[in-house]
Amino acid sequence: MITVKNLVKDFGGKRALDGVDATIHEGEKVVVIGPSGSGKSTFLRCLNLLEKPTSGTVNFEGTDITDPSVDIDKLRQKMGMVFQQFNLFPHLSVMENITLAPVMLGKMDKQQAEEKAKTLLSRIGLLDKAQSYPKQLSGGQQQRIAIVRALAMDPDVMLFDEPTSALDPEMVGEVLELMKELAKEGMTMVVVTHEMGFAREVATRVIFMDEGKILEENEPRAFFSEPRCDRLKDFLSKVL
């Protein structure tokens, strides 16, 4: 579904990604971990071109999205993204947050979009908040709505950029729970996170990054119990 080849990203002389190759298949749940500054967020943001790679290619469903002639807006409709800071639109109600993109992009008419939003909201138990504004909700509620907002576009893959890092500890659970449900339903997911428990439980594959490179990847049980490279052993000994 997504094939990344020799991806390099420089930020004004500093190399954030240093030749990353990766393939994400349909239905996979790939969790990316690594120390801060390892390039894992940059990697994720290159997948939907929020960050423009310096060189290398990202192929999504048969299209090289780094090709400047590609209509990236069209492709992004198929790639949902969830941010660390939620990034809900504060001037719009929860309902408007969810229906804005599908209606504006002609995916559904207003009525269909609102029906869909209601279904999604009742699924996460927040139907009664449809007319509320983001500022009136807790962080956990906001993040779950941000996930639902991305789902309203019926994406083929969901990208999560440290979705629980900005949350109060007691709110982390509800967001992870929703992500687990999504995983169970077969959604293809790429998750950058520090939640090792989530990685262990949900991931079909775990990737370890440091200094802009993928140093190790494996299925979760072996990844955590038999790490091969020293850098990963060192990292796991500190976070587990």
Binding status of residue 48 toward other proteins by CB under 8 A:
yes
Helix (H) or strand (E) holding 144: helix 139-151
Tokens of 203: 């991931």
Binding status of residue 6 toward other proteins by CB under 8 A:
no
Binding status of residue 63 toward other proteins by CB under 8 A:
no
Could you say which residues in the range 192-231 bind other proteins, by CB under 8 A? none
Residue 70 exposure: Cα atoms within 13 Å on the Cβ side? 18
* Of the residues 53, 80, 212, 227, which one makes contact with other proteins according to CB under 8 A: 80
Tokens of 218: 């494996």
Binding status of residue 69 toward other proteins by CB under 8 A:
no
Residue 113 exposure: Cα atoms within 13 Å on the Cβ side? 21
Q: CB of residue 210 vs other proteins: minimum separation in angstroms?
A: 25
Q: CB of residue 22 vs other proteins: minimum separation in angstroms?
A: 20
Binding status of residue 100 toward other proteins by CB under 8 A:
yes
Q: CB of residue 112 vs other proteins: minimum separation in angstroms?
A: 17
Could you say which residues in the range 143-182 bind other proteins, by CB under 8 A? 146, 149-150, 153
DSSP for 39-99 reads: SHHHHHHHHTTSS--SEEEEEETTEETTSTTS-HHHHHTTEEEE-TT----TTS-HHHHHH
Under 8 Å between Cβ of 38 and 209? yes
Site residues for other proteins per CB under 8 A: 48, 50, 73-74, 76-77, 79-81, 83, 85, 87-91, 100-101, 104-105, 133, 135-136, 146, 149-150, 153
